[in-house]
């Protein structure tokens, strides 16, 4: 139903990670966006904020629900996609590109050890 790029890693809470050196670009998957419906509000942390793996770093509000965004890695926020804050409805237009949420300087690369491949994530969500 959806595609999950192989160069990304995925979490049980539907975030994806694109690793470039020791910087992780984080967003939410097309599956998560589809489940949310029309997104009306996105809350993201400020640049310089420390995030902790498994802990909320922000939230997404849709017409259906408010969902926490959970950090898939620990580290310091280097960049925030303010375009999503200003125009949350655009989140579904390019989930794995322009709709990234935060960029994090990784504290520990082993945070990615528990992340899933695209195939593993696809098997998990498409089975529901």
Q: What does the H/E/C string look like for 51-90? A: ECCCCEEEEEEECCCEEEEECCCCEEEEEECHHHHHCHHH
- The mean pLDDT value for 100-122 works out to 95
Share of the chain above pLDDT 70, in %: 98
Architecture of domain 9-109: Beta Barrel (2.40)
Mean pLDDT of 49-58: 97
> Is the pLDDT at 128 greater than 80, yes or no?
no
CA pair distance 41, 99, nearest whole angstrom:
13
| Residue 4 pLDDT class (50, 70, 90 cuts) | confident
Helix (H, G, I), strand (E, B) or coil at 107: coil
What pLDDT score does 2 carry?
Answer: 80
């Amino acid at each position: 139903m959806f595609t999950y790029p192989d160069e990304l890693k995925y979490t049980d809470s539907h975030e994806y990670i694109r690793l470039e050196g020791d910087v992780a670009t984080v967003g939410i998957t097309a599956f998560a966006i589809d489940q949310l419906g029309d997104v009306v509000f996105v809350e993201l942390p400020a640049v310089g904020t420390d995030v902790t793996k498994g802990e909320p770093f922000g939230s997404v509000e849709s017409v259906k629900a408010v969902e926490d965004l959970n950090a898939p890695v620990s580290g310091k926020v280097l960049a925030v996609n303010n375009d999503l804050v200003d125009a949350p409805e655009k989140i579904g237009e390019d989930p794995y590109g322009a709709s990234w949420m935060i960029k994090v300087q990784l504290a520990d690369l082993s945070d990615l050890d528990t992340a899933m491949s695209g195939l593993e994530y696809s098997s998990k969500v498409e089975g529901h």
